[in-house]
Amino acid sequence: MEAKITNLLELVNKLPEKQRKLFNRFYSVNLSESKLILPDKMREFVKIRFNSLKKVENQKIISINNNFTGEGSLFNELRSLRPLPKIKINKRELENKKNCLFCNPENFTPSDSFGRIKGKYCITASNIAKYDYFHSLIIFKEHNPLKIRKIWLRDYFETAEKWFLEVKKLDKEAKNNFLIWNCLWRSGASIIHGHMQLTSSKMKYGKVKKLEEISEKYKQKFNSDYFLDLFRVHKSLGLLREINGTKMLFYLTPVKEKEIVIFSKEKGFANLSDLIYKIIKNYFRLGVKSFNLSLYKIENYWIIHLVDRGNLEDKSSDIGGMELYGNSVISFDPFKLSEKFKL
Ligand SMILES: [Zn+2]
């Protein structure tokens, strides 16, 4: 049986009873075969574009919902073959440092009330238009965000850890740390120059709080740990890698393409920088140019999400009404992603 998302129901049926029951506790799955009729004038185009008339005329769509979190994904690999409107990108734009404020952060970005934290390869700045109580930036010394080195990444994270500590000295109630890295415009970044964003809030963010509540309720109801069981389900299907106790999941309900979720009980998140570096290098090898990374803590777990946001040349957003209010529409198979990843 080929490990692929459209075979999920068969793969689950082959699991030992205990693992199958656990999967079914977590997920609801539906496989549909959707049919359509192609007019004669479209057949030639479809043959070239999608490489098969049959695959288009009989489409397999697999829908997966996490029964606890409400996360849900609709998989159809044909979606990636659709013709999409493109914009012209000058590749040199990524190297264009002219008028880049972040290339000269000490003169052209504000500092926090406690000053700046300087790493070897980065510096902090206060965000000029904040979206939370404490909201600052890690500005990389390297302008081009697609140029990444292992030691640089470790330095960015270590500097972020120092910033979180500095903020706690100002207000110990601002204890909810959140780190994001939006890489290039598809991911929501407004500035090309490589940077991460840090927030420390008094109130937990909605999605973090919800996941915490789910984990607590799960403990009460099943006398088991939500996260450990989530790992077990992914492991039983070959969608989990373990690296020195850190778990890396090729997530069954990705929020968008190629989502990977890391769970780690490492003391500091900077210890995860080598793994994150490897994941990003894999992303680059698979053609990812723009991505989001988010990091936060629940119980003793650092939880890190990484997700591909599409081609830099794509004109339309990868997120529409479905992703905002329904399920996420996904074309990249998590089983294939796991196969292609080299750590
Ligand atoms: Zn720059």
Each residue's pLDDT expressed in tens, for the chain with a length of 343 residues: 899 999 999 999 999 999 999 999 999 999 999 999 999 999 999 999 888 899 899 999 999 999 999 999 999 988 877 878 888 888 788 999 999 999 999 999 999 999 999 999 999 999 999 999 999 999 999 999 999 999 999 999 999 999 999 999 999 999 999 999 999 999 999 999 999 999 999 999 999 999 999 999 999 999 999 999 999 999 999 999 999 999 999 999 999 999 999 999 999 999 999 999 999 999 999 999 999 999 999 999 999 999 999 999 999 999 999 999 999 999 999 999 999 999 8
Interhelix angle 17-26/226-236, rounded to 10 degrees, is 120
Q: What is the pTM of this model?
A: 0.96
Domains of the chain: total? 1
Q: Determine, yes or no, domain membership for 90.
A: no
Q: Determine, yes or no, domain membership for 3.
A: no
**What does 31-43 look like in DSSP terms, one character per residue?**
EEEEE----HHHH
Structure tokens given for 166:
């500095």
Cβ atoms 261, 305 nearer than 8 A: yes
Please give the distance, rounded to the nearest whole angstrom, from the Cα atom of residue 289 to the centre of ligand 1.
17
Q: Determine, yes or no, domain membership for 65.
A: no
Neighbours of 322 (CB within 10 A): 12
Q: Determine, yes or no, domain membership for 46.
A: no
Structure tokens given for 237:
């299907």
Q: Determine, yes or no, domain membership for 174.
A: yes
What residues contact 148, with CB distance under 8 A and at least 6 apart? 142, 277, 280, 281
CATH number for the domain spanning 250: value is 3.30.428.10
Please give the distance, rounded to the nearest whole angstrom, from the Cα atom of residue 134 to the centre of ligand 1.
23
Please give the distance, rounded to the nearest whole angstrom, from the Cα atom of residue 196 to the centre of ligand 1.
13
β-strand 328-330 against 72-75: which pairing, if any?
parallel
Please give the distance, rounded to the nearest whole angstrom, from the Cα atom of residue 102 to the centre of ligand 1.
5
Cβ atoms 250, 239 nearer than 8 A: yes
Please give the distance, rounded to the nearest whole angstrom, from the Cα atom of residue 97 to the centre of ligand 1.
5
Q: Which domain holds residue 194?
A: 97-343
Please give the distance, rounded to the nearest whole angstrom, from the Cα atom of residue 109 to the centre of ligand 1.
12
Q: Determine, yes or no, domain membership for 17.
A: no
User: Where are the strands (E) in the chain, listed by range?
Assistant: 27-35, 58-66, 72-75, 122-126, 134-140, 176-183, 195-201, 240-243, 246-250, 260-264, 291-298, 301-308, 328-330
d(CA 341, CA 17): 29
Q: Determine, yes or no, domain membership for 13.
A: no
